[in-house]
A and B are shown apart, each in its own frame.
Chain A
Amino acid sequence: MSTVNDVVIKIATVNGTGSASANGLLMKAIFRMGIPVVGKNYFPSNIQGLPTWYEVRVTGKGYQARADHVDVMVAMNAQTYARDMAEVASGGWLIYDSTWPRSRQLNREDIHVLGIPLSKICNENFDGARARILMKNIAYVGALAALLNIDLDVITELLEETFAKKKQLVESNLKAIRLGYDYALEHFSCPLAKTVERMDRTRGHIVIDGNTAAGLGCVYAGATVGAWYPITPSTSLMDAYKAFCKEFRMDEASGGKKFCIVQAEDELAAIGVVLGASWNGARAFTPTSGPGISLMNEFIGFAYYAEVPAVIFDVQRTGPSTGMPTRTQQCDLMACAYASHGDTKHVLLFPANAEECFYSAIEAFDLADRLQTPVMVLSDLDIGMNDWMCPDLQWDETYRPDRGKLLTAEQLDGMEKFYRYLDSDGDGITYRTLPGEHPRGSFFTRGSGHNKFGGYTEDSAEYQDVVDRLLVKWETARKLVPAPLVEYSKFNKEGIISLGSCDGAVREALDLLGERKIGLNYCRVRAFPFNEDVRQFIERHERVYVVEQNRDGQLRSLLTLDLDIDPARLVSVLHYNGMPINARFVVDKLLEKRAGARAAQDTGS
């Protein structure tokens, strides 16, 4: 079936062979032609030698999820050749390096196999082993340009920008592009039945990964202290923060840094640094992933009880334990919501894409300061490390950080006495001072029993008074966190609740189901605790499918726990193999569950 601007290209290479820049070039070129793209990297927990894939979904309709099939496979890795060939959709194309003969056993009658002697061409045209390997990657981009109709001028423009300071690299890269392009033109009938064609759907948009956007958000939120222990897939968040700070946070007069990054000895220390800095009035954060959250538990409970703000980014990866560290999941919802021993619960934010990572970062700092508690931003590897097309990030110059109930020296001057944990406003949020601000503002921060005046206590009533007040604060948090995004029509009797990176797949699934005349309403939760709107959404539907990316239905559990919902109303649709969820999966699984639920209903009645 021939299509325009609807094609999935997957490139199979070996980790460490420099294919990332070639793949980025391919995706960017299509994006610059005005066509929406989705870029996903499937990579091993390895530095060099293991198989890695990059998938570009060209989607004129602007869908955000990964596709469920591959139209064009560029099989550059002999090791995975068999499975790469098997993955091509019927009628699709497989491109391979025909420098060496391929096994005769590996063949498929229902796809087109296109051999290009990439190694041979590059060996003849470039000197040096490294250049030959790198240019082989660029050459397949050239071949794809011919096969798919990608504009060569756009590729040239991108190369000129990338290597603005290294002219000879522009020439060698262009030469490699040309070699691949010409070979394809000469040997195959170009373009293929699936092509790309200029459109105007990417104006005012960027392609960015969630970690970069979150790091930038931390800079804009005014964070000055970042503490971390390197862990995939969160590392690039701190890398981004650091890079932006080096650009925008240097003191012109002294050359000093207006930020401090502490690479701690472990995650326990990283969160300790964040709490110390927040206690002292800096906006501080730590990026981590599941194992880091596990290690931070004791301190998270401390911060909840002693009421110290903190911002934690959990870029979730597949667990349990080390799990598959380079694969994605939404598996830390429960671990984060109730992190630590004792009666604790925490505010969580669920960005759905890279754009929301930027705004969530700013919102997280405001909420942490306002609520004087840890706020966790739960993104995942898919959001954090993959390339997302999103509208330009916008900045409102009138924004000022919400530092919450922070008493100034002037205010303290006018006060007779200051008590740290006295709820004078009835919203459960008490007034806070910063060390060094004023002699009257001193107080003692402790994780041991304390009364509303801030004094140590082992008195039952005094203890309970404080933990009950924390519940009042929890209800305040419920009103302050972002409300869910709800799409509602009264004609639909069933709904979907989902979160985070499931959003793209769910939206696309709703379109697909709509084509079959199955209408569902949609509620995307954006925070925990759940807003009243979430309860209403559930109450308005006979059945709600909860779509999430973990094995045990953690979002469903949270909904039943936090809103006291009858679990029977919530039907799980779960995806947890480590790959990002796609629309086809949602449709198939939902229909299966739906049939099951209806059958059960019929038997029951």
Chain B
Amino acid sequence: MTQLLPVYTLWRREMVRFVRQRSRVTGALLQPLVFWLLLGGGLNASFRPAGSGDGLSYVAYFYPGMIALVLLFTAIFSTISTVEDRNAGFLQGVLVAPVPRWAVVLGQALGGATLAVAQGALCLLMAPLVGIALSPASVVATIVVMTIVAVGLTSLGLVIAWRMESTQGFHAIMNLILIPIWLLSGAFFPATGAPAPLKILMTLDPLTYGMAALRRTLYLADPGVVATVPPLLPSLAVSAAFGALALWGAARMAQRAAV
């Protein structure tokens, strides 16, 4: 039980820091929103997602993808600070305190995930714009899915951040790994019409299942619209397994990064 106090305190620090850094709010929430409006709006007239149900416009298709991007960006922004924080910042003191590394990582992951889910939940306010009538059940289910996905993405960010010596390296990883993970998750285009090699990659992408679960819970009342994505429960199982694996990996990395 005593280990939960450090977990709680590190989580709380993330909350307070976030509120006091307005640029982070802007970056994590507005950037995906702008992507959604510009890309979604621009592509809406020209493209209709293959295999999607009748009447699903591109803007509507991209909407859950935007939510995933909000989760991803928040996860990245909240974990990237780990790199500098442990060499010349607050984490130095945490690392010499009698606190196991797993507790440090758990506090960080829960902090990052909470911020991500809070911003993802704000995006739900725009659901009516794309014709989704959210029921209370759908909102709750969607937030559960967002939480599982956010823990996974934040933990993945932590695995990378604890390995890195500098933040420059993090940017390269972000462009080479994190953004492709999002692009190949079905957030931006469906697997249905994709060429075979891409389809294989999309099947292997763990975020594919997070995206599928997100679409399933958003369209809880109207499953026909999302009939081509993997079913809800297996998707949730894969997402939860990935989250647990990433969290374990992050704890290992933190253990190795310092004695």
> Is this pair of chains taken from one and the same complex?
no
